[in-house]
Amino acid sequence: MILVTGGVGYIGAHICVELLSDGNDVLILDNLCNSSRITVERITVLAGARPSFIEGDVRNRPLLERIFTDYPIDAVVHCAGLKAVGESVREPLRYFETNVSGSVNLCQAMADAGVHTLLFSSSATVYGECVQMPIDESCVLGQPTNPYGHSKLMAENVMGSIARSDPRWSVGLLRYFNPIGAHPSGLLGEAPTTAPNNLLPYLLQVATGQQKELSIFGDDYPTPDGTGVRDYIHVMDLAGGHLKALDYLQRNSGVHTWNLGTGRGYSVLEMVNAFERVSGMNIPLKTTPRRNGDIAQCWADPGKAARELSWCATRNLDEMLRDAWRWQCQNPHGYEVDNLYPNTSEPEDVTMIRLVRSADALFRPNTTRDANKTIT
Ligand code: NAD
Ligand code: UD1
């Protein structure tokens, strides 16, 4: 059985679907601070198998001890964490407590239970402002520009240290580049509970009229069109990388680091243009000064993951944007289906069947869609 912390969050939910579909038993531990219990039902429908679910906190040591006693856990995928950069600047202690202390707590409970296989959701943010592009895993780790980034680097250091101190550990540090997109069914996706900070969730809310316009944070970077360049990766490809990494960790001890990216960067303007083409929507834009802490460009050398894990991203930008748009149209208020259908009391499983059917009907190739029409 695999314990997935944060398994009902955006990335964790996609990982759970892939793990269950691959025949694994899955136990999710999540305190639901940034997610919804409904996601467990959607994971179950998509995977055709139900994960066990415990609502709880990775900082709760007695709870972790009980979990490792009660369930036959072989490996842990540790996605639970806080991820809002701006919030981390305002509340750094909360970030260190969850992302660092929570990780230490989890590792202690694993060690006590004799479970030594751990896969960690890390981030390309640990590279800071890397001068070399593309970024490979041997690049010197930079100075993260915010407490969130520091907390991810600190957690990496904790896990790397324990793996080096005891040969029974197999630790994988997965450095995600920019995960976007959604499950192709339209049932799982990113559901920000506050105004989003990242490009794609914000762009989606502009497209549905929830935000007025998209600010382009700086058009004077030393990039081809002056806007920031990032390596966007489909969340389904990212999830697939976890299965390959877990398989590798079963056979190899020590600490292993892999970039999960596509190896291709897109600028903000390229993203907007591609989204307009895929969705048929018009995105009002305004240019603003650069965002503090932003870097000009960042894309991965995913070669190590290709060589060691036989993994590479296969979904292109259009698929990422189409799937993200489908998710947004089907769930304009995230998982809050009650808000979406205020006059119905249909159960969640009926809602899901309807959403899947309408998604199939709406997203035939080469059709231009109106966001408002898709949710009626
Ligand atoms: P998310 O917020 O959607 O998911 C995180 C999940 O963890 C949520 O369901 C939340 O309720 C849960 N959680 C938070 N604190 C917890 C705690 N103390 N105990 C138990 N559960 C807790 O975020 P995500 O985008 O799915 O990110 C997952 C992981 O990937 C995070 O660790 C994040 O730092 C990392 N990451 C994300 C991105 C990205 O762009 N989304 C990029 C790089 C790395
Ligand atoms: C941000 C975080 C990073 C985190 C990553 C994934 C900062 C400084 N960095 O990175 O720590 O690991 O998200 O969660 O917040 N952009 C706009 N307008 C917007 C939003 C973004 O122009 O409204 C631009 C940005 O300047 C950037 C690109 O779009 O060039 C991507 O931004 P974003 O999605 O926030 O990701 P990162 O900047 O890579």
Q: How far is CA 208 from CA 182, 220, 277, 330, 341, in A?
A: 17, 28, 15, 11, 17
Task: Return d(Cα 116, Cα 289) in angstroms, integer.
Answer: 46
Q: Are 178 and 232 in contact (CB under 8 A)?
A: yes
Q: Of 24-28, 41-45, 137-141, 214-218, which range is least confident?
A: 137-141
CB 10 within 8 A of CB 43: no
Which range, of 276-280, 284-288, 370-374, averages the lowest pLDDT?
370-374
Q: Which residues line ligand 2 (CB under 6 A)?
A: 83, 85, 123, 125, 148-149, 178, 197-199, 202, 214-217, 228, 230, 268, 291, 293-294
Which structure tokens are listed for 278? 């895929």
- 3-state SS track over 344-356: CCCCHHHHHHHHH
Q: What sign for the dihedral angle of Cα 181, 187, 190, 192? A: positive
Per-residue pLDDT at 88: 93
Mean pLDDT throughout 265-293?
A: 97
232 lines ligand 1 (CB under 6 A): no
High-pLDDT (> 90) share of the chain, %: 83
pLDDT greater than 80 at residue 351 = no
> What is the percent of the chain where pLDDT is above 70?
89
Average pLDDT of the chain, as a whole number: 91
Q: What is residue 195's predicted lDDT score, i.e. its pLDDT?
A: 85
User: pLDDT tens for residues 201-229?
Assistant: 999 999 999 999 999 999 999 999 999 99
Mean pLDDT value across residues 14-40: 97
Residue nearest to atom 16 of ligand 2 (CA): 199
Q: 122 has which bridge partners?
A: 175
Residue among 155, 146, 50 nearest 99 (CA): 155
**CA-atom Rg of the chain in angstroms:** 20
- Residues 142 and 129 sit within 8 Å (Cβ to Cβ): yes
**Residue 193 banded pLDDT, cuts 50, 70, 90:** confident
Q: Note the Cα 112 to chain centre separation in Å.
A: 29
Please give the domain boundaries of the chain with CATH numbers for all domains.
Answer: 2-180+229-265+298-314 (3.40.50.720), 199-228+273-295+319-374 (3.90.25.10)
CA of 358 to the centre of ligand 2 (A): 32
Q: CB of 58 closer than 6 A to ligand 1?
A: yes
Give the H or E element holding residue 120.
strand 117-123
The answer to whether residues 28 and 1 touch, using CB atoms and an 8 Å cutoff, is: no
Give the amino acid at 164.
R
* Integer Cα distance of 29 and 26 in angstroms: 10
pLDDT at 234 over 50: yes
Supply the DSSP string of 305-342, one letter for each residue. HHHHH-------HHHHHHHHHHHHHH-TTTT-HHHHST
- Reported confidence tier of residue 194, pLDDT bands at 50, 70, 90: confident
